[in-house]
Chain A
Amino acid sequence: MKRIVLGLLAATAMCLPALAADVQPALLYDLGGKFDKSFNEASFNGAEKFKAETGIPYVEFEVSNASQRDQALRRFAEDGRNPIVMAGFAWSEALSKVAADYPDLKFAIIDMVVEQPNVKSIVFKEHEGSYLVGVMAALASKSKKVGFVGGMDVPLIRKFGCGYVGGAKAAGATEVIQNMTGDTPAAWNDPTKGGEITKTQISQGADVIYAAAGGTGVGVLQAAADGGRLGIGVDSNQNGLQPGKVLTSMLKRVDVAVYNAFMDAKNDKFEGGINNLGLKEGGVDYAMDDNNKALVTDEMKAAVEKAKADIIAGTVQVHDYTSDDKCPY
C-alpha cells in the first residue's frame, strides 16, 4: 500500500512540471454578469476568440457577491491556472493578496493597477473614448443638452463622465446632466432605475444620453429609445440593442486585452507592469456599423475624426478624472 502511494506521488510529481508549462487560462468576471452586453461580455468575447484560434480551453467564474472574490481567485491559483485574468477594478484587493502568495503564476487585471511583479495591469484611457462620443452627442443634440448615466459612483465611472463632458462642451453642448445609479454594486444591474433616470433626464431636456453603467445601461438605452431620444452605449458595441436609436458606442477593447493576455502567456511573452491603452494604442474607440450609419452625418464623423487625430497627436489633452479627482469642464 505504502509503495503504491509513493508511486502515485512520484507520478504526480513528474506530471506537474509538464502541466505548468502549458497555459491553462482562467477568466474571472465582475458583478453584473458575463452577459451584461457590456464590460464582462467584452472580456468573454476576447476569451472565446482565443479559444477559437488556439483550441485551448479556459475556465471562468462569475462572482455573485463580493465575498467570493478571494476564494474564487485562490482556488484557480491552487489549481495552477495560468494566466488568471480578472475583469474589473473590484478584484484589486483580492488580487494583491493572492498574487503575493503565488509568485510563479501570472495574473492580469483590467481597469485597475496592482503593483506586483507577476501582475499585468491593463487600464484604459476611457476619458479619451468618452470625449469622442461626447463630441458626437453634442453635434447630434438639438437641445444642446446631453445626459450621462453612470453605474456605481466610483472614480472610474466619473472618469467616463468627465471625458464625456469635455467632449460635449467642446462641441457646443450647453449643459450635461449627470446621474449615478447608486453607491452599491447593485447599481451595475438595475435597468429599472437606469430607465427612470433616463426619463428624468429627458424631461430636463436631454436628447442624447450616454450610459456607462454595465447592465443598467440596457434600461437606459431602452428608455431613451422609448422616449424618441438617442442613447450611447459603452464598452461593447451596443448599437444593435436598439437599432437606429443608439447614436454610437464608446468601445473599450476589453476583448483585445483579454485575448492578448492569454496569447502572451501562450507565447511565453507575458510581462508584468502597467499597460495604459488609449486612442493611440487602439484601446478605446467609437463604434460605427449599419445600425447607426443613418444617424451619424458626415459632418459629425469629420468632427469626431478630427478630435481623435488631435488627441492622438497630443494637441488636445483630455483630463483624466482619476489623476486628481476633479473635473475641470
Chain B
Amino acid sequence: MAAPLLAISNLTVQFRVDSGWVTAIDDVSLDVDAGDCVGVVGESGSGKSVTALSILGLHASATTRISSGTILYQGQDLLRARASAMRRIRGSDIAMIFQDPMSSLNPVLTIADQISETLRQHQGLTGEAARKRVVELLGLVRIPDAARRADDYPHRLSGGMRQRVMIAMAIACKPRLLIADEPTTALDVTIQAQILELLRDLRKELSMSVMLISHDLGVIAEFAQRVIVMYAGRVVEDAPVAQLFRRPVHPYTMGLIAAVPKLDSDASRLATIPGRIPSPQEVIPGCRFSPRCTLVQDGCLDAQPSMQPVGDRQSARCPPRLLALGERHG
C-alpha cells in the first residue's frame, strides 16, 4: 500500500498560559491519502484547528511547543523542516482556507493583486501572464464576469464571492492538499451548499486531497469520505463516513450524532449530552469524556485509553465499547 500523502503521528501541542503550559491537542494521529477527503469534526476546544495549523507551522512559536509527534508530508517531517522549505510548501503544495473570508483578504488590494501575489511567489508569474491566470482562476471558482471582478476590492463582494476568491487563491498553485477550516460556517445555507459543491468539483478537477474541518455533522456527512472525531484535544474515533453514521463506536460520537436536530423529524425534545465541554486546563483522569459519558465504568478513570481498531478501517478510543462490540460480533 502506498504511503499516505500526509501522516500525523502522536502529535501533542501545548500553549503557554499564565499558569504554565496547557495541552491543546494530545496524541493526535491521522492520515490523509492522495485524493482522499478527510473530515475532522468536533466542538469548540476539540483541537481541530490546532491540528490544522500545526500542519502548516502557523502557530506563534513563542507561546507554542510541539511536545511530541511527527507530521510527514510525502515522507518529509514538516515539524523539522527549515523555514525556507516550509515557505515553499505553504500555499503551493498545501493550501488553506479559513472561516472568515473578510478577515483573510486585504481590504486595500484588489482581488487580482492578492491572487497574483501567490502566483508571483510560487510560480514567478507576473504582468499579463499573471493577469490571465487570475481571470482563469476566478472562472474556475465560478465567479461570473471574472475579467471585470478581478479589479474589484473585497468589500464589493458578498460573503460567498469572497470565499470563492479565497478558494481561487488556495488552488492557484494546484496544491496536493487543501485544508479547509470551517469554510462555510460564516455563510448562509444556500451559499454554503454552493461552496460545498464547488469544493467537491474542484477536488475532482484538480485531483487534490481535502481536509475539511467542521463542527457541522451535516457538512461532514455530505463532503467527507473518512471522518476523524475529536473531543477535548484527542481523536476519539476514526472511520469511513458511512460506517461512522451507521455504527458510531465512541459514546461521544453516538451522543453527537443523536444531538443534531433532524430536519425530517417532528420530535421536539432533542437528545442531549449531559454536562459541558471541559476547558483545556481541567485535569480529568483517564478518558476525558468520562464525566459526561453514560456508559462510564470504573476502568475509564484509570488511564487514558488508546485508539484501538474495531472492524474494517474504523478505530476508537473506548475500550468498554470495543469490548462490548467484540463480544456481540464474536
Real binding pair: no
